[in-house]
Amino acid sequence: MTEPRSDGTSGKERDGYEIVATVLLGLAAVLAAFSSYQSALWGGVQDTEFNNSVTTANLSFNAERQADSLIAIDEAFFLELVIQWVNSPTETVDEFFGADIGGFILGNMTVEGQRVSESWFREAFDDDSDAEVAAYPFGGDYFNIAYEDSAAIHELSALQYEAARTANENGDNFELAVTFITMVFFFAGISIVLSYDKLRIWLLSVAGIIFAGSFIYVITLNWTF
């Protein structure tokens, strides 16, 4: 028969407290390991997405510079078209672009540059056209098309950066969970070495509440594998 202690608690009850504490410590260790694993995985995702974002941003910059060069070429060829037209004012627009020099200059422009330039010439010099002539053919639509590729790449870079930021937040959330779980180790561990059972019960209760809250918090987070 187990002899009661001075506070009325038997040795079996003390063993029960230690079993509860041990189970809590074991479960907390598993949860802490899982949370640390998730934090490390999210850290890897963050690094990957951030590197991808930087690489894509460089591609966007290069695409934008390429678009700038093509725009400059279109503008230069358009100016040459105007000069050639002034030197041959008697030609119709169709004859001008059908001639060697006009067709050659137009053919060296981008597809969109050819379209807006030819359209501008027809509006400006075709007697049958009643359209209002713009002072400059390269308007907003032209630039939108010219920078379309670089804008799309830039948007992808922004999405990758946002993914990196989200991964960082997810990793921080799991780190916070580990911090909470560490408190379970503290309270449950102390309860094992104490002899005052009421205090042990209180410590185990606090450890259990913290573990339950930490577990619920972890299962609501975003996991990755």
Segment 29-45, tens digit of pLDDT:
999 999 999 999 999 99
Tokens of 216: 């619920």
* Cα–chain center distance at 53: 8
b/e per residue, 174-189, with b = 16+ CB within 10 A? bbbbbebbebbbebbe
Q: pLDDT digit string (tens) for 172-190?
A: 999 999 999 999 999 999 9
The whole-number pLDDT of residue 94 equals: 86
Domain assignment of residue 34, yes or no: yes
Q: 194 is in which domain, residue-wise? A: 11-219
Domain assignment of residue 30, yes or no: yes
Domain assignment of residue 71, yes or no: yes
Residue of 211, 191, 174 lying closest to 29 (CA atoms)? 211
Domain assignment of residue 200, yes or no: yes
Domain assignment of residue 213, yes or no: yes
pTM above 0.75, yes or no: yes
Domain assignment of residue 2, yes or no: no
The residues that bridge with 10 in the sheet, in sequence order, are: 4
Domain assignment of residue 224, yes or no: no
Give long-range contacts, CB 8 A cutoff, 24+ apart: 91-100: 92/126, 93/118, 93/121, 93/122, 93/125, 93/126, 96/121, 97/121
The count of structural domains within the chain is 1
* Residue 58, amino acid: N
**Do 117 and 139 contact (CB within 8 A), yes or no?**
no
